[in-house]
Amino acid sequence: MEILTMLAIISLLLSLMSAIKIWLDLKEHTQPMKIMNAVWPLTALWSGLAGLWAYNSFGRTSCVSMKMDNGDMNMPEMKDERPFWQKVTLSTFHCGAGCTLADIIGESVGFKFLSLLGLDGIVWMWSLDYLLALIIGAYFQYAAIRPMLSRLSAGKVFIKALRIDFLSLTSWQIGMYVFSYIILFVLMPQPLAHNTWTFWFIMQLAMCVGFFFSYPVNWFLIRKNVKPSM
């Protein structure tokens, strides 16, 4: 077995186990912001043990049980104000989760759909990935801000969510595309099939690069109060 394939298998399995561990923990430690219950497992799929560390360090909600007349109710403990870098990290995870889900759908199902339409080629594939990232990413932001904008229609809130996250979503995808292009079209001797461990390992690394591209953009947007912090 090639070393790259072995590394791919180890990395992907560790990430999958990290995502499962977080998902199981969230059943007892539900996030105050519901959409984060999806964000954290999706984050672990590309960040692996680093994502698990982040969840345990500043993402996991501590709960206390309050006895009510009709049963028990778990309430999150009040925590001190997070450091700014953690707020930016959480916001980047949040927008990145939408990109992650979009890229998984696009690269596993979307490319087959494009092939049926005769739209082969990386430009079509990445265009679909980007479109899905904008739609799913905007929905994740919509889910975060909807409770604060209940007086507005769902459509207006979605448009606002898209405006808030457009730059951060775009920067994430650009980072992924730059890395993927260099690896897949410059360094790789031959094309990789979508159903290989190595392909998804490269996708995983590309998402890590996307995080670092998106992080300073989120920092700027939050600092300028364009985007709410997490």
Which residues of the chain, if any, have pLDDT below 50? 64-80
- Residue 162 corresponds to which tokens in the numbers above? 């898209």
184: which strand partners? Answer: none
Contact 204, 46 (CB under 8 A): yes
Place of tokens 């980047």: 92
User: Which stretches of the chain are DSSP H helices?
Assistant: 3-26, 36-47, 49-54, 84-105, 111-116, 122-145, 154-181, 197-223
CA distance 186 to 178: 11
**pLDDT tens-place string over residues 189-224:** 788 888 899 999 999 999 999 999 999 999 999 999
Give how far Cα 3 sits from Cα of 8, 177, 203, Å. Answer: 9, 24, 17
- pLDDT for residue 63: 52
- pLDDT for residue 79: 47
- pLDDT for residue 69: 40
- pTM of the predicted protein model: 0.87
- pLDDT for residue 78: 39
Tell me the residue length of the chain. 230
